[in-house]
Structure 1
């Protein structure tokens, strides 16, 4: 049982440290998202989220088309 208590304390400390010390976490995630979405570099957050949603829809459409083609040419 003492091991469980220790691991709980360690997780709690780690979580508190993350909450305190990472004020720029949102900015880091925004930059990461800008790198993932084509043409999103330098956009403000509103436009970035719209572009991200459009990109996700485009990717879904591509997957649907490829699945349909795979079903057509199935041996």
Structure 2
């Protein structure tokens, strides 16, 4: 098998893998931090202070649990 033929076989598999990764990150909202960082940098400048991912997730969870419209958790 030539290198070109191998490349034609591998390229669709890699593309599908990238799509699955993107889909899962969007579905689980794993990409929320990346979107937040991009938003802060765009609106406040490249040198703006951005909270760590851990702090971002903590704030997001606190906000979600503090607002009953966002899906109140009792336990």
TM-score range, shorter chain: 0.3 to 0.5
More helix by share: 1
Larger Rg: 1
TM-score (ref. length: structure 1): 0.37
Could you tell me the TM-score, scaled by structure 2's length?
0.37
